[in-house]
Amino acid sequence: LPSPSRLKSLTSDITVITSEELRQKHYRTVLESLRGQPDLQITQNGGPGQSSGFTLRGMAKEQVVVMIDGIRLDDPTSTTGYAMLEHLALSDVKQIEIIKGAQSGVWGSDAGGGVINIVTETARKEGFSANGGLMAGNYTTHRGDLALSYGSENFDASVGFNGYKTDGFPPHVNASFDARNIERTYFAKVGVNFGDKTRLEGNYRKIVTDTEYYNPYNPDSKGLQTVDNDIYGLRLFHRWKSFDFDLYGNRVDFDRTQDSGVYEGNTVDYGFKTRFHYANGFVDAGLNYRKESLESAWNDVDMNDEADRGYFASLSHTMMKGLVFNAALRFDNYDSFEDKTTGKIGVKAALQWGKDTYMSVNVGNAYRVPSMYERYYNDNFTFGAGPLLKPETSTSYDATMESYGLKATYFYNEVTDMLRFNNTTFYYENVAGKSKIQGADLAYRKAFDILPVALRVGYTYTDAKDAREKRLLNIPRHRASAGLDLYPTERLSVGIDVEYAKDYLSYPDVQMGEYIVWNAVVNYGFEE
């Protein structure tokens, strides 16, 4: 039945954040769990619940596809169509996969920087089980979790709730108020197995939030943003001989109110994929249909039927002596933009001088069509209509070598007609020419057998400039992270993590210095 990405058969550079790490570090949201990755830079406009962003190897959040159980979370009510991770709770998350480099050959538009794939738990124990927790802290902070599940050979179900509230702290040096944040998440997952070859699975998640924020255009009053998102997914999987058949339908409804602005949007995505297994690999082929809509009470805007029809095929082939070859090709037919063909090829070779030693090389191209909000903003909020926007295209190259836990990567991204907000003219525009984002990662992970210690260190250098040789915002040239986990006894563990960044620009082109963030956690397990 379906499983997370088969890492050994993929040539892309992939990082997996496991369920053990998520539990041990006590992360609350997906955004928090990504902070420790050296090639991921997180930004947030204040404390819990405040708007956030991230870059992956210098590629912006809108150039990265975020999925949960195969459901894309692109939000048409957000400014550039990106997924809002600051409210995505981890209560039922099993693991997070970060797939780096251009992936539009498989996932289509918006995958120029990579894909973040979130996998949730399925009831694993037979019979009924329950777990929950309570937390309290400074700033009148409260958190509660409750999950119930039932599992059997042919049926499994899990339901749960996560609640979080904090009175917060001032989100800006000029703010005279504390930024309150309230979040509620409801989730359910039901699966029915018809024998050992067929499975029907349904997912539902509801996220409701109320967040106060600092409004720079009206500093004497606080802004209020409410979010009400509903995520639905239905999937039918069947295995017949050497073929896997996967039929799915997803829908996400977004409802966001920001002060007097009301925005409603939704995405509908359904399709079919088949995988043929053979002795040395597998071939995937499929098609999908995706439609977005956006409505706003401001200017009586109604943008419907923005559809994309995609057709794709990919290959993973393992040759003699551990040589893996990947290829992907996709054709997209858009309602409002020119059709586009994207693809990717990669090679990974196992090297003979050590266990888990390999070298990989990947090249791919990607496409990002302007978000509905970007086009809506240019038509309604500028002094006269803003410029007509066209898609940006990108090409990505990377080379990785790993041996004995040490991994080194060089990456180079070239983006043509990059979409950016102009802080002078106050509209979105294409930056004509080629913007270049390049750099290198160095990471080391090691669990020592003699000492009960696990070590993680990483460093990323990034040089990111647009076609006018102007540095891109919120991308540090130097970023490092480290983690040390100690296990003095079978029940006791101590974890220390540190994050460091230096030399980056913040809005509006202000040179920033450096920062260091420390985190520590102690766990002690009692006998059941």
Q: Which residue did the predictor score with more confidence, 424 or 454?
A: 454
**How sure is the predictor about 1, in pLDDT bands with cuts at 50, 70 and 90?**
very low
Segment 424-436 shows an average pLDDT of 92
CA–CA distance, 369 with 389 (Å, rounded to integer):
9
pLDDT at 2 over 60: no
**How sure is the predictor about 23, in pLDDT bands with cuts at 50, 70 and 90?**
confident
What percent of the chain is helix, strand and coil (3-state, nearest 5)? 5, 60, 30
pLDDT at 384 over 70: no
Which of 450, 513, 519 shows the shortest CA–CA distance to 482?
A: 519
The helix (run of H) or strand (run of E) holding residue 19 is helix 19-25
For position 303, what pLDDT does the model report? Answer: 61
Who contacts 163 (Cβ-Cβ below 8 Å, separation ≥6)? 142, 143, 144, 145, 183, 184, 185
Q: Quick one: tokens of 250? A: 């997803």
Q: Quick one: tokens of 447? A: 């669990």
CA–CA distance, 462 with 394 (Å, rounded to integer):
17
Q: Quick one: tokens of 38? A: 């050296």
For position 220, what pLDDT does the model report? Answer: 73
pLDDT at 4 over 50: no
For residue range 32-67, what is the model confidence (pLDDT) as tens digits?
999 888 889 998 888 899 989 899 999 999 999 999
For residue range 207-265, what is the model confidence (pLDDT) as tens digits?
999 999 988 777 777 889 999 999 999 999 999 999 999 999 999 999 999 877 888 99
Percent of the chain with pLDDT over 90: 66
For residue range 97-125, what is the model confidence (pLDDT) as tens digits?
999 999 999 999 899 999 999 999 988 67
CA–CA distance, 53 with 209 (Å, rounded to integer):
18
Segment 346-356 shows an average pLDDT of 83
Which of 32, 33, 34 shows the shortest CA–CA distance to 55?
A: 34
Q: Model's pTM, two decimal places?
A: 0.93
For position 353, what pLDDT does the model report? Answer: 73
CA–CA distance, 503 with 512 (Å, rounded to integer):
6
For residue range 140-181, what is the model confidence (pLDDT) as tens digits?
999 999 999 999 989 999 999 999 999 998 888 888 889 999
For residue range 448-491, what is the model confidence (pLDDT) as tens digits?
877 789 999 999 999 999 999 999 989 999 999 999 999 888 88
Cα angle for residues 146, 17, 12 (degrees, 5° grid)? 140
Choose from 13-22, 85-94, 436-445 the range with maximum mean pLDDT. Answer: 436-445
**How sure is the predictor about 378, in pLDDT bands with cuts at 50, 70 and 90?**
confident
For position 216, what pLDDT does the model report? Answer: 77
Which of 332, 324, 225, 340 shows the shortest CA–CA distance to 287?
A: 332
Which of 393, 365, 325 shows the shortest CA–CA distance to 105?
A: 365
